[in-house]
Amino acid sequence: MTLIKSISGIRGTIGGIAGEGLTPPDIVKYASAYGTWLKQQHKEPLSVVIGRDARISGEMVQQLVQSTLSALGIDCIDIGLSTTPTVEVAVTELKAQGGIIITASHNPKQWNALKLLNADGEFISEADGAKVLAIAEEGSFSYADVNRLGKISHRDDLLKLHINKILKLPYVDVKAIKAKKFTIVLDAINSSGGFAVPMLLEALGVTEIIKIHCEPDGQFAHNPEPLPENLRDLSKAVTKNKAHLGISVDPDVDRLALVCEDGEMFGEEYTLVAVADYVLKHHKKANTVSNLSSTRALRDVTEKAGGKYAASAVGEVNVVTLMKETKAVIGGEGNGGVILPELHYGRDALVGIALFLSHLAKFGKSTSLLRSTYPDYHISKNKIELTPEVDVDFILEKIKTKYKKQPVNTVDGVKIEFDKEWVHLRKSNTEPIIRIYSESASMSTAENLAKKIIQDIRELIKESQMA
């Protein structure tokens, strides 16, 4: 059993002993801490929007969360089965003081989590997350008396509201999409995307929608992370049905992966690149943001359009912070996460789909041909496991010094640029591991870059042991 307490929320496997898994006492403890933090931030009355993906444990967790917040005197707006971006939109639309999304995102079905939002419908900051964790550990919660319990209300119209806001965006061209008569195959991993994505596609004028794994029962048909090795069924269905496009979303619908008409992956890193390219056509010299481990292709596309690209530390909250600082018109992460500030500051697969289909319709050719118009980079993901006595920070500092003649970014670990190639080293917060991401125009070169850095690390360890 696993329980991970971080500044972005509480994540764990369902069951087991309290404190070792995501058990009812743990859910109550952290919901109480979040509610207490909200009461410190805002005047009463308070309300919180709560939604969940289709995980088997979702309803159980949601009932515990809502009862806990009610006990604190906080009203709960239950929007039931929903998507992460829909909850984010709902917080501001309903002028709530916060939101909780019950989802473990791309993790397998035995996992669940509490994702915590602020009054802006955004993930709480690192500082606020630390406060929530501190309140939880202190454990001095003050619950309301019987006359001041929070009310629980229900709304079933928020997804439609979310979609209507997408349709009103100046970039979304329903007429162009409808005219193309797209045939689209959808793999929604038997979660919320199974009803949310078809509702969006129908609103966009797509009538030929072929669904696989779209029953929102939480019985994930494959590993829910939308990576190529998990999308074989989708790839086969696209070619079998002569579809124009395959769409895959993760269980809470904030990540988007696409499959070309020939069954080949568009590339999860390139979801944001393509959508950003389309949005940049509507702006002059506009800025974009992604994290340090995302493909350089976004920078290339941005600079080609006359804008400036900036890279943040890994993590959605860090991307959002830098987007606000640089006034970026679009941003996100290379995991298929698209963030469009005009809608809201959060990863949103639904707006990603609408923007991509508008782009594809106006491009007028196949999905694979659209993909071929972008710079072709390959990312290799590796890690080196170290013994507990190795000082990871010391190793990273030595690597930075070794490559000081190259452009080096230390916002999040150490990222070294070699012309249009790069290597990014990040330490794990929970294990003696350094994760090593590298990118180049060929996978073999990217892998060799990683091997070179791994060799450097091993040599540095030997030197430190001999000293």
pLDDT score recorded for residue 261: 98
Regions in the chain scoring below 70 on pLDDT: 1, 430, 466-467
Domain co-membership, 227 together with 210: yes
Residue 130: how many CB atoms within 10 A of its CB?
A: 13
Domain co-membership, 108 together with 53: yes
pLDDT score recorded for residue 90: 98
Domain co-membership, 254 together with 272: yes
Q: Which residue in this structure is represented by tokens 């992966």?
A: 257
Q: Kindly give the interhelix angle for 349-363 and 158-167, rounded to the nearest 10 degrees.
A: 30
Domain co-membership, 91 together with 151: yes
Domain co-membership, 267 together with 321: yes
Among 39, 29, 61, CA closest to 137: 29
**C-alpha 185 chain-centroid distance:** 22
- Active-site position among 8, 105, 293, 440: 105
Please give the structure tokens belonging to residue 98. 């916060």
Domain co-membership, 262 together with 171: yes
Domain co-membership, 385 together with 327: no
Domain co-membership, 366 together with 384: no
What distances in angstroms separate CA 325 from CA 240, 319, 320, one per listed residue?
46, 10, 9
- What residues pair up with 22 in beta bridges, in sequence order? 14
In whole angstroms, give the CA distance from residue 317 to residue 94.
22
pLDDT score recorded for residue 169: 98
Could you read off the pLDDT of 28-73 as tens digits, one per residue? 999 999 999 999 999 989 999 999 999 999 999 999 999 999 999 9
Please give the structure tokens belonging to residue 279. 């949005």
pLDDT score recorded for residue 466: 64
- Here the CATH number for the domain that contains residue 425 is 3.30.310.50
Could you read off the pLDDT of 336-353 as tens digits, one per residue? 999 999 999 999 999 999
Whether 438 contacts 380, CB under 8 Å: yes
Q: What share of the chain is helix, strand, coil (3-state, %, to 5)?
A: 40, 25, 35
Structural domain count of the chain? 3
User: Last residue of some domain: 372, 404, 422?
Assistant: 372
57 is catalytic: no
Domain co-membership, 417 together with 285: no
User: Last residue of some domain: 156, 173, 200?
Assistant: 156
Domain co-membership, 86 together with 204: no
Residue 330: how many CB atoms within 10 A of its CB?
A: 30
List, in sequence order, the alpha helices (H) in 42-83.
Answer: 58-71
Burial of 28 per CB tally in 10 Å (0-12, 13-18, 19+): middle
Among 124, 89, 100, CA closest to 28: 100
Whether 147 contacts 131, CB under 8 Å: no
Domain co-membership, 279 together with 413: no
- Here the CATH number for the domain that contains residue 307 is 3.40.120.10
Domain co-membership, 207 together with 78: no
What strands, in cross-sheet order, belong to the sheet with 330-333? 309-312, 288-291, 330-333, 337-339
User: Last residue of some domain: 337, 372, 407?
Assistant: 372
What distances in angstroms separate CA 68 from CA 12, 47, 137, 155, 285, one per listed residue?
19, 13, 17, 19, 48
The domain of 25 spans 3-156
Radius of gyration, CA atoms only, the chain: 22
Q: Which residue in this structure is represented by tokens 């009463």?
A: 44
In whole angstroms, give the CA distance from residue 16 to residue 430.
21
